[in-house]
């Protein structure tokens, strides 16, 4: 990592390969944004906007830093042998992503469960992989499947369940302009194909247990 590169995360666990947050790339993206401001009819030289292209470039790099994170590596960094075979559910994980069609935010919650098959994973790693895939240009369906596949292929549990509920700003502040619609997507493997197991997961994520 060269000294033009800033950390996006306060930790470097080996699975984050950050080479996007550097000054050369920021400057190139900022140049385009200066042009865009002019095209929008603004004066990019006025005081309030002078640093805006650089700010936008940095914000975009942050919002897409998931490309530099290795989600399977995150899981592999904290897998532990454990004789626990009940469902593990991490619910209400905040999601912030950007739709790949309009590059506008979509945001909401992810609920993730797995049934261990000899190994458990450090709990914080589940929201970390949600972030790793969310901080990219996405559609909600692919985000849901990528989280499921990563857990299934890396941890090899008896089953994985992912439900994501999000509001899409491209449907709220433009286009069809529906302020309150929420999109729900889901993806399941293994044991979660069984109605009873899936129902138990859905009960746990909707129950107010705490
Ligand atoms: N399936 C899916 N669609 C998405 C997601 N995010 C945004 N979209 C949709 O992507 C579609 C792109 O459709 P287009 O017709 O090419 O774009 P558009 O003319 O801007 O569409 P409108 O939003 O209907 O005005 C829209 O229907 C969006 O609602 C997502 O995560 N999943
Ligand atoms: Zn969109």
- The ipTM, to two decimals, is 0.90
- Strand-pair partners of 31: none
Q: List pLDDT tens digits, range 131-155.
A: 999 999 999 999 999 999 999 999 9
Q: 23-63: which CATH number, 1.10.167.10, 1.10.760.10, 1.10.286.10, 3.30.450.20? A: 1.10.286.10
Pairwise CA distance, residues 69 & 92, whole Å: 22
Reply yes or no on whether 141 is catalytic: no
- Closest-approaching ligand to the CA atom of 174: 1
Give the Å distance between the CA of 146 and the centre of ligand 1. 20
Considering the entire predicted model, what is its pTM?
0.90
Pairwise CA distance, residues 161 & 155, whole Å: 13
- Give me the mean pLDDT over the 20-40 stretch: 91
Which residue out of 140, 150, 177, 191 is catalytically annotated?
A: 140
Would you say residue 130 has pLDDT above 60?
yes
CATH 3.30.1130.10 range(s) for the chain read 71-206
Residue 156 exposed, middle or buried by CB count within 10 Å (0-12, 13-18, 19+): middle
pLDDT at 6: 42
CATH 1.10.286.10 range(s) for the chain read 23-63
Average pLDDT, the chain: 92
Which of the four pLDDT bands, split at 50, 70 and 90, describes residue 75? very high
Q: 71-206: which CATH number, 3.30.1130.10, 3.20.20.70, 3.30.70.330, 3.40.50.2000? A: 3.30.1130.10
Nearest to 141 by CA among 91, 92, 184: 184
pLDDT at 13: 54
User: What token pair was written down for 27?
Assistant: 């400057």
Higher pLDDT, 9 or 80: 80
Reply yes or no on whether 140 is catalytic: yes
- Give me the mean pLDDT over the 96-114 stretch: 98
Lowest mean pLDDT among 5-9, 25-29, 73-77: 5-9
CA-nearest residue for atom 13, ligand 1, is: 101
């Amino acid at each position: 990592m060269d000294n033009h590169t800033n950390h996006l995360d306060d930790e470097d666990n080996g699975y984050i390969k950050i080479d996007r947050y550097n000054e050369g790339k920021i400057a190139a993206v900022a140049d385009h944004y200066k042009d865009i401001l002019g095209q929008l009819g603004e004066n990019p030289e006025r005081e309030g906007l002078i640093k805006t292209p650089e700010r936008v470039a940095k914000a975009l790099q942050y919002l897409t830093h998931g490309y530099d994170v290795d989600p399977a590596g995150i899981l592999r960094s904290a897998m532990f042998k454990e004789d626990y075979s009940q469902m593990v559910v991490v619910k209400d994980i905040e999601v912030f992503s950007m739709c790949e069609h309009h590059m506008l935010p979509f945001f909401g919650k992810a609920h993730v469960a797995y049934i261990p098959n000899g190994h458990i994973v450090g709990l914080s790693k589940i929201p970390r992989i949600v972030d790793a895939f969310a901080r990219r240009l996405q559609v909600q369906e692919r985000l849901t499947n990528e989280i499921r596949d990563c857990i299934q292929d890396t941890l090899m549990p008896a089953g994985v369940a992912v439900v994501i509920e999000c509001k899409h700003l491209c449907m709220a502040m433009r286009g069809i302009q529906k302020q309150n619609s929420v999109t729900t997507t889901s993806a399941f493997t293994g044991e979660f194909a069984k109605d009873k197991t899936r129902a138990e997961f859905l009960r746990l994520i909707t129950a107010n247990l705490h």
